[in-house]
Each structure stands twice: as structure tokens, then as C-alpha cells.
Structure 1
Amino acid sequence: MDKTTSTLLIDFADPASIGLWQAIGDRVMGGLSSGTLLPDASGGAVFCGSVSLANGGGFASVRCQPGQRDLSAYDGLRLGVRGDGRPYKLSLLIDAGFDGILYQGSFTAAPGEWQSIDLPFAAFVARRRGRTLAAAPALDPANVHGFGLMTDGRLPGPFRLELRALSAYSGATQT
């Protein structure tokens, strides 16, 4: 029996929620990767594009900053996704600035099948500009200002991650 409770944070079937996301890729450092979040025919959204390792690049990402949220009543975040077998990161922005610390949880979504992926807050790692910050304070889920999705692993080529929902959960995780 599932003993979780969850609260929907982002419904990717809602076109208004898709419009909140902006692309941020390796072009800021001279890279050639591209990525975007688009409405998908399946009734959700798709994070898609292509990763290039040229010019020292190697990632694509999108972010939204809907404002500060207190998620301290929850144990983590749940993504409803269908992947391509590539690794990704879900980012939490803890301040309203563009270049602050991100807390990231890594996941791989199996190709071809919809699944729920639970990322406990305890598994999120502090990073800034791709570097792990060992001395950073622990993630404070009471102070989340935004969310991001990022390709992981510097794997060149096209990527596609379909999304239905992002929720906060508490209780036992789904398997």
C-alpha cells in the first residue's frame, strides 16, 4: 500500500506552466549545445535538444523561477517522466539570483516507458557552475525559488525527456 502524499507543483500539461521555463545552455561559455522545453503531443512537455562537446561545452538545461516555496513538509520531489536512457539532473534554486548555488538530484529515466522517479531532498548535492560545493550548507527545502532540468554526463547527441508532472511527496517513496 502506498503511504505517500503528494502536492502537484508543476503540471506540464498546462501551457502556462511551460511558458515559465527558459533555456540556459553551455552557449554562455562558448559551447554549441541546445535545449528547450516544448509542449508535447502526449499532453505534457518535452525537454529536448542536442548536446555538443565542441568548444568545451557539454550540457543543456532549462529553468523556471515561479517564486519562493516552502517544501519543508515534504521528503522530496517526484517526476512523472518518460526518458531516453540518458542521465539527467533536477535542480533546485535556493535564491532568486541567476548564478547562485543549485542543489541537484540525478536520475535516469528508462526509455519508452512512463515512470515516477522519487528524488529525496537528502540526495540533492550543492553545485555551482558544474562544481560540487562540499562546504555548502545542506539543502533547506523551506527556501526553494525555482526548478531546473539539465542533461548530465557530457554525452554528445540528441536527447528527449518527456514530462507529465513535478510534485513534492512525503512518506514512503514509490518503487
Structure 2
Amino acid sequence: MKIMTISALALVSSMTMAADYKIDPAHSAVIFKIGHLGVSTTVGRFNEFEGTFSYPEGSHSGSASLTVKADSVDTNHEARDKHLRSPDFLDVKQFPSLTFKSTKFDGSTLTGDLTLHGVTKAVSFDVKKVGEGKDPWGGYRAGFEAKTTIQRSDFGVTYFIPGVTDTTEIEVNVEGIRQ
């Protein structure tokens, strides 16, 4: 009976130490980089997204989820953005969002399921904690940078390869507000 009590206390204690954060989109970014014609790199971002993350204080475990509105793609070129929204690339009418849901976090690698263009694949992000602390408004914030590289063809997006590279770098910078 005593062992069960200690185990129950340990479970409750570890649950209370977990911190849940809502991503602050005003201080976060979802960015991609892709090669163009072998002569340059095009950088783009998604302007609309939401998500959450949690991690127990002093631990390397945690979780994250992110939903990105596909038609918010922005490469600072209106005609290209329109083409990226078309069936040639993101096909935003058929696939209005991109999602990521983690399955494992070991402190430096976040692994999970990325759904892009209706295809779900496991991907791993290299993660770096930027920092955490109290904000001037009485809240508490934490920030992370996460990077990965995917092959867009793995997700059924094959238009104009190799003119536009198959390899796509993704960077997610998040600042979350503890809930």
C-alpha cells in the first residue's frame, strides 16, 4: 500500500511539473527554403498557424502540435504564391492545412507525423531551446527553434523537379505562453 501511495505521488508530482504552452504567432514563424534553378534559394513562410507544446520542467520529454493554414503561404511574390496554392504544389482547396503532431521528444530531437498535401510521414526536427522566463505582463514564456529537411516528392509534390529542388528545409521558431 505504501509503494502505491509513493508511486501515485510521483505520478501526480510529474504531472504538475508539466508545462503547457500555447504558441504565440506574433513571436513565432514557420519558414521554408527551397532551391530555384540551381542558382538561388527561395525563402517563404506561412503567415497563419496555431499550436501547442508541453514539456515537464527539468525533463527531456514533451509534446508538440502545429496546424498551418496552407493558403497563408508567402514568398513575397504574389504570382508565385498563387502558383504555390495551386494543384501543382500545395493544392490548398483540397488540402487546406499542414499539420504536425509529435510522437517522441528526447531533448534535442522532436519526432512526429507531418501531414502535407494529404500525405502523412514521420519526420524528425533538430530542436534547440532558446530560453524561458517571465514576461512583462505577468505570464511565462518559452521559446524553441526546430529544423528539418524533407523531400517534397515524399508528400506527392513533384511539380518542376529539379528546377525547384525536391529538398526543402523547414524551420519552426516558436514562442509559447504558459497556460
- Check whether TM > 0.5: no
Which has more radius of gyration? 2
- Greater share of strand residues, 1 or 2? 2
Higher relative contact order (CA 8 A, sep 6+): 1
Output the TM-score relative to the length of structure 2: 0.29
Output the TM-score relative to the length of structure 1: 0.30
